[in-house]
Amino acid sequence: MFLVLCVSVLAACATPSAIQGPATDAFQRSGRFAVSVDDIEGGSQAVQGGFAWYDSGRHLILDLANPLGSTLARVEVFPDRAVLTRSDGSTQEAATADALIAQVVGAAIPVSGLRSWLKGDINPALTSGVQQDNGSTRFVQDGWSVALSRHDTHGPRLVHLTRKEGLRSISVRLVVDAS
């Protein structure tokens, strides 16, 4: 019983608090993420934790936390730039969110695509191989195989992205806990 209580407390701490922003109609989601990068020679890197997402359309804020809930970083995306602020106060900047994440992580993660995919939106002009069955949607966009499932009224509660990039395989899973 004690073990179940400890696991429940740790799981609850993994998701950062909802982001308070100026737009009351902003799209918000929070939950857990897992990113893994495996190379053909057997090397593997993985990171997991919690996330809080706030998107007013012009301003995106993404908070990332470690599995115990401590803030790792905040990513802010503006129309003309993206800024990462680490928990130690250091910052890094790039022209786009995708470029920033590629600099920081060393692998492309499609933040621009996630802005639509977290809402369950796909752009037919940019996607191929769209398949829908049993409440799940699968498609390919910008080299990513995307699966959206477990929908609620705001969008998918499970987003799974995979991509082969050279000798590496990249996997990103987002599990939405709350809107």
Q: What is the pTM of this model?
A: 0.84
The model's pLDDT over 57-116, given as tens digits with 9 standing for 90+, comes to 899 999 999 988 888 899 999 999 999 999 999 999 999 999 998 888 777 788 888 999
Q: What is the pLDDT of residue 11?
A: 44
**pLDDT, tens digit (0-9, with 9 covering 90-100), for 27-67:** 999 999 999 988 887 788 888 999 999 999 899 999 999 98
Q: Which CATH superfamily is domain 2-178 in?
A: Lipoprotein localisation LolA/LolB/LppX (2.50.20.10)
Instruction: Judge whether residue 154 has pLDDT over 50.
Output: yes
pLDDT at 179 over 50: yes
Type of residue at 8: S
Question: 139-147, long-range: CB within 8 Å, 24+ apart, which pairs?
Answer: 141/110, 141/113, 142/110, 142/113, 144/110, 144/113, 146/113, 146/117, 146/122
Instruction: Please return the burial class of 34, using the count of CB atoms within 10 Å of its CB with bins 0-12, 13-18 and 19+.
Output: middle
Q: Residue 172: pLDDT band by 50, 70, 90 thresholds?
A: very high
Q: Is the pLDDT of residue 12 over 70?
A: no
